Amino acid sequence: MPTTTVPARSEIPVEHTWDLANIYPTPADWEAKLAEVRARLPLSRQFQGRLGEGPEVLAAWLAHFQDLLQDTQRLVMYASLDYSTDTSHQVAAARTAQATTLAATVQAAVSFAEPELMGIGFDVLRAWQQTHPPLAIYAHYFDNLERMSAHVRSAEVEELLGQVEDPFRTAANTHGILTNSEIPFAPAHASDASQTFEVTHGALGALLSSSDREVRRTAWESYADGHLAYKNTLANALAAGVKQDVFRARARRYASSLEAALTPPNISTTIFHNLIETFRRNLPTWHRYWRLRRQVLGVQTLYEYDIKAPLTKDKIEVSYPQAVTWICEGMAPLGKEYVDVLRGGALEERWVDIYPNKGKRLGAFSYGGPGTHPFIMMSYNDDIFSLSTLAHELGHSLHSYYSWRTQPIIYGRYTLFAAEVASNFNQALVRDHLLRTQSDRAFQIAVIEEAMSNFHRYFLIMPTLARFELEVHERTERGEALTATVLNDLMADLFAEGYGADLVMDRARTGSTWAQFSTHLYSNFYVYQYATGIAGANALAQGVLAGKEGAVERYLEFLHAGGSRYPLDALQRAGVDLTTPAPVDAAFAVLADYVDRLETLLL
């Protein structure tokens, strides 16, 4: 019986992999830089107790701090990128462990600075900033520090909090190691038993989009069952991660883990609760889509493994070069420079690690830092879904490219709240381009199917995970236990609302969804921002596509701003106000319009 397998990392042509030499030419160079940064750490202590001596000393400290931050970020970046593409590579795993330990050590070494700056007084800091030009760029940094001052502890406590970050990564790392490299998945098989398919993180998306229902069912069940087999270990890891969030929140005098997550980017908890309320109010749009799917597929019962089943028999294949061409055409409204940078990164400069291989991490991401180009990891499968994923990650990458080019290191990183706008903006523009230029009925259906799949992740799965996250944190804050049974039952109950009566749920397997996210749920209240991001993106994209005066310029200004503004402020300047539920309602209207289009095309 023939089997479709995923190649080993060593079998992937080098031109299809990313170019880590852009960070360090060789692993030996990485080792040398690691030793150099370790040797520089005592220099940080020479500034302790001296920041109040005057603006010259403060400027010297901030320059030292930024250099140390950039070098540490690059060390972590090189190690984690190398490990991400082959999680069975033990040398890469060791480098990653060294880098994360260094990052925690650096955090502890610089922890004295913010309490000391607060001790100087913000009136003095602003006076120095106005009279000493090298400090002028730090106006937003000082404002943010003042805003956060109630949650910054003494130098001794800050150092201790920095020291616990390395051991606190153990829970997330355990979850990631188990799910990315050690859980075995049974192969999927075709309905006629003529072929089997290896189930991996990178191959799962293509298997769940198969026209063969048995391939979809066996792949979906294999993936869920693999995680269920280790549910108790994974639940223990997640419970530890949630307890760590609660500890951090209490150590920094926040009322809750939610407040601790939303206060640093200056986002009100009201925005989180508005999102959840608006999401629940719009669930009938999803229920309508499930009914349409069941009708078009001609099945008596719609199951979760049917969510990505193709709605036509025509398979639309999209090669990687063709995807880049269409993405560039779709992004043309942003101008020649944007398109040229995007095309060069995707085709010439090896920003992208393109295809699946054994041991490759789940999902896709964009990563990098000042002094490097962006890096994109994905598992391209020659379809519309992969095209859209590439557009999404290139949105992140161009956001980073412009931020790093424009902002000092201290503002080079932007929040996820802003990041998910840039990525979804690209997808919105590319979908619009494809729907306007590709008139073939099957192609139109494929584009809308991809859009619905993306909205399914961002506007169903992520808000549901956000509700789950809120509940498990609140239970932990009340001293309640989190077991695999508790987590699975809660997850299944929440998904039951989203699926309604038209999609039959497998409670045990659906309940394991939390276990299938090895990163997201270990970043305190991370996932809700996917939903706010797609809402903001579609609002801004509609302005650009409508030719609204100044829309392109305001959007590019948003990309250049990086972390120099609070994300809500940056987005309001770009043209969308996410403090109200209106953009979320409007994004659900976009979703409903896609359902309308499908009904016209299919019924």
303: left (phi over 0), alpha (psi -120 to 50) or beta: beta
Q: How many CB atoms lie within 10 A of CB 452?
A: 22
Tell me the C-alpha distance between 299 and 197, whole Å: 24
Tell me the C-alpha distance between 551 and 182, whole Å: 48
8 A C-beta contact, residue 482 and residue 476: yes
393 is catalytic: yes
Q: Any idea how long the chain is?
A: 603
8 A C-beta contact, residue 87 and residue 361: yes
CA-based end-to-end distance of the chain? 38
8 A C-beta contact, residue 86 and residue 359: yes
8 A C-beta contact, residue 87 and residue 359: yes
8 A C-beta contact, residue 502 and residue 287: yes
Which listed residue (158, 393, 469, 477) is catalytic?
Answer: 393
8 A C-beta contact, residue 101 and residue 131: no
Tell me the C-alpha distance between 92 and 78, whole Å: 9
> Which residues neighbour 454 within 8 Å (Cβ) at sequence distance 6 or greater?
388, 392, 424, 427, 534
Tell me the C-alpha distance between 286 and 463, whole Å: 13
Dump strand ranges (E) for 278-367.
Answer: 352-353, 365-367
Helix (H) or strand (E) holding 375: strand 375-377
> Which residues neighbour 566 within 8 Å (Cβ) at sequence distance 6 or greater?
144, 265, 266
Catalytic residues: 393
